Amino acid sequence: MKLKIRGVEFSYGSRKVLENITFEVSEGEILGILGPNGSGKTTLLRCINRVLEAKKGSILIDGTDIRKLSRKEIAKNIGVVPQDSAIHFPFTVFDIVLMGRTPHLGRLEQEGSEDIETAKKAMEITNTKHLADRLIDEISGGEKQRVIIARALAQEPKILLLDEPTLHLDINHQLEILELLRKLAIKNRLTIVLVSHDLNLASRYCHRMILLKTGKIHSAGKPQDVLTKDNIRDVFKIDVKIDYNEKAGILNIIPLSPTVESTS
């Protein structure tokens, strides 16, 4: 499913947070949204699934303006993994994943065997099946993140939005999550939008990325074209050293501390 963002603007009161944001994401593609704190990354993600209402511009999924869709219909198309997943209630992992079926169920309808199958499949993909009867507040951060992804997958969405899904995870679990996303994009043909703070990992797993600076798109394109020395200095206000392994297509961005710079 194709996601098109056209001229989106958003403001909190009189403070403009997003200005003239335009980009597209295709089926099977992972798009990274990068930028410093406060550049509008999370706000943009929230506008895409209408948690926040864009003041201007439109968001189209396969040509349909999401403003024409009910919240339930949006939830059938867009799955979300929000940044904050603090769940302090003793729900089991299976309960949580089954909640992903909500947009497909009537208000008083019980989950049927099909819903249970879908939930199980989502847990298989995310490798969380063995956790099914554990309590959500008793599993590790990496496991919890995978469970929330499983819940999003149980919605059977075509588009997946993730807000820093690797935050607070160790490097092993970061890679695990990103490998999973790659698999979902390539094998399951999902359209994926990912907010990230990790330039290196994002450059490895995103097909394309946009770099936000104070609510505007500073640059967009392939990782190696977006994450250049100049762009990074311009947006993040730091100097970096970049090793680009063309064969492997891997960028290695090494931040230089201001003191290092001043002594050189």
Partner 1 sequence: MEEDKTEKYIEIKRLRRAILLSLMVGFILSFIGALSIGPAEIPMATVFKILFNFQGSWPESYRIIVLEVRLPRVILSALVGSGLAVAGCAMQGLFRNPMASPYILGISSGSAFGASLAIVLGIGLGAGIFAVPFMAFVFALLTVFLVYNIAKVGERVPMETLLLAGIATGSFFWAQVSLMKYIAGEELRSIVFWLMGGFWASSWDKVIIAFPLIVLGMLVILFFSRDLNIMLMGEEHALSLGTDVENVKKIVLVFASLITAAAVSVSGIIGFVGLIIPHTMRIVVGPDHRILLPSSCLVGAIFLIWMDTLARTAIQPTELPVGIITASLGAPFFLYLLRKRRRTTGW
Residues that bind partner 1 (CB under 8 A): 46, 49-51, 70-76, 78-80, 82, 84-91, 94-96, 99-100, 102-103, 105, 107-108, 110, 116, 120, 129, 132-133, 135, 137-138, 152, 155
Nearest residue (CB) to partner 1, 145 versus 219: 145
User: From CA 113, how far away is CA 95, in angstroms rounded?
Assistant: 14
Closest by CA position to 194, among listed 206, 184, 185: 206
- In whole angstroms, the minimum distance from the beta carbon of 41 to partner 1 comes to 15
Retrieve residue 3's tokens: 């996601």
Nearest residue (CB) to partner 1, 129 versus 207: 129
User: From CA 183, how far away is CA 146, in angstroms rounded?
Assistant: 14
Nearest residue (CB) to partner 1, 75 versus 202: 75
User: From CA 44, how far away is CA 27, in angstroms rounded?
Assistant: 19
Helical residues (DSSP H) of 87-208, grouped into ranges:
93-99, 113-125, 141-154, 171-186, 199-205
- In whole angstroms, the minimum distance from the beta carbon of 116 to partner 1 comes to 6
User: From CA 183, how far away is CA 71, in angstroms rounded?
Assistant: 28
- In whole angstroms, the minimum distance from the beta carbon of 188 to partner 1 comes to 19
- In whole angstroms, the minimum distance from the beta carbon of 86 to partner 1 comes to 7
- In whole angstroms, the minimum distance from the beta carbon of 101 to partner 1 comes to 9
Nearest residue (CB) to partner 1, 137 versus 234: 137
Nearest residue (CB) to partner 1, 160 versus 235: 160
CB atoms within 10 A of CB 97: 30
Q: Give the residues across from 34 on adjacent strands.
A: 211
